Amino acid sequence: MTLHVSATHTPIAGSSPKTPVGFSEKAKGYLALTKPRVVELLLVTTLPTMFYAQGFSGKSGVPSLWLMVATMVGGALAAGASGAFNCYIDRDIDKIMNRTSKRPLVTGVITPREALVFSWVLTVIAIALLWSVNPLTGLLGVGAIFVYVVVYSLILKRRTTQNIVWGGAAGCFPVLIAWSAVTGTVQWPAFILFMIIFLWTPPHYWPLSMRYSDDYNAVNVPMLGAVAGSRTVAVQVVLYTWAMVACSLLMIPLGGAGIVYTVTAAAAGAWFLFEAHKLYSNAKKDLVTKKNAMKVFHVSITYLTLVFLSLAVDPFVGSALMG
């Protein structure tokens, strides 16, 4: 049984607004194009990874202020550029979906040409800044933008229910960028962190697509949460969550994680698993609601935040206590 959300779709013209757009409104429109909430979540994984990479590489203290600023700003601009490109590409369906009907390209606050130019400007600045850290970091920035814009937005999103699985890999790049910025290379712990986010993305996003199933169905975007039965989706959420938790614990034997990370990853993972299994239990009884689905979505965000905050603290507390 697919979860349906009642919605009335009112297409909104993508032309220029009737009255001139002021500077403040224009600035807010450009900011909205970057999808700030997504950028914020990506940055939550970047700085802790830099802290952990510093300790793992045997260096004391924290990375230099310049290195942290360059990496964080470069990463934020790369993510913002990806979001802006996505808004440009999806402007035809955004005006139909209630969830995205207020985006600046739909309301006309920003024109398609302005959005495209803005996206390219952010891309150039982001890659230049990341490249100034080191070439590997710059190349990883290019890879992140390419995966989100080309692989996900242009190729996969409208064609397969596995869109978010592979397209979501773009959200995993910040940990590789952060690690390479500090060490100049990419080591095993970075790949483990990459896989944690890769496995986290489906159980994070599919409940959201269950909540907004009517929106996705209205524009023929085959998000699994919208086109599959709630039991099928819940099973996948449970399986991916188990794989994610197991992967997170690999940081202990392979990544040198200490007690702070160990306890946090285990406890937060158990909480996430509990909510995922509760969703499945409700799905078996055909009792999945918007509230059930969004509870898993919000728990997933808290889980990722807790795990990466513990990663930041661990080099200063955890490893000392363990050894």
The residue with tokens 């150039």 is: 124
User: 129 pLDDT exceeds 90?
Assistant: yes
User: 236 pLDDT exceeds 70?
Assistant: yes
In this prediction the pTM is: 0.89
User: 63 pLDDT exceeds 70?
Assistant: yes
- The percentage of the chain sitting over the pLDDT mark of 70, rounded to a whole number, equals 92
Taking residues 219-229, report their average pLDDT. Answer: 88
User: 73 pLDDT exceeds 80?
Assistant: yes
How does residue 141 score in pLDDT terms, banded at 50, 70 and 90?
very high
> Quick one: which of 296, 284, 275 has its CA closest to 231?
284
Residues of the chain with CATH 1.20.120: 187-317
Residue 125 tokens, joined: 């600045």
Residue 160 tokens, joined: 């397969």
At residue 13, the pLDDT reads 42
Of 291 and 63, the structure prediction assigns the larger pLDDT to 63
| Amino acid letter, 11 | P
DSSP 208-237: HHHHTHHHHHHTT---HHHHS-HHHHHHHH
Residue 258 tokens, joined: 């200490």
- Show the CA angle centred on residue 284, arms to residues 282 and 289, nearest 5°: 35
- Interatomic CA distance for residues 100 and 96, integer angstroms: 8
| Cβ-proximal residues to 20 (8 Å cutoff; 6+ apart), any chain | none
- Interatomic CA distance for residues 272 and 61, integer angstroms: 32
Exposed, middle or buried: residue 58 (CB in 10 Å: 0-12, 13-18, 19+)? exposed
- Interatomic CA distance for residues 186 and 137, integer angstroms: 10
- State the CATH architecture for 28-184: Orthogonal Bundle (1.10)
- Interatomic CA distance for residues 82 and 86, integer angstroms: 6
User: 206 pLDDT exceeds 60?
Assistant: yes
In this structure, which topology does domain 187-317 adopt according to CATH?
A: Four Helix Bundle (Hemerythrin (Met), subunit A) (1.20.120)
- Interatomic CA distance for residues 67 and 42, integer angstroms: 17
- Tens of pLDDT, residue by residue over 152-189, are 999 999 999 989 888 889 999 999 999 999 999 999 99
Taking residues 36-47, report their average pLDDT. Answer: 90
| CB crowding 15-53: b at 16 or more within 10 Å, else e | eeeeeebeeeeeeebbebbbbeebbebbbbbbbbbbbbb
The residue with tokens 């890659």 is: 127
Residue 296 tokens, joined: 């898993």
> Quick one: which of 314, 313, 301 has its CA closest to 41?
301
* Cβ atoms < 10 Å from Cβ of 92: 11
Residues of the chain with CATH 1.10.357.140: 28-184
- Interatomic CA distance for residues 148 and 221, integer angstroms: 16
Taking residues 50-67, report their average pLDDT. Answer: 91
* Cβ atoms < 10 Å from Cβ of 268: 20
Element (H, E) at 29: helix 23-33
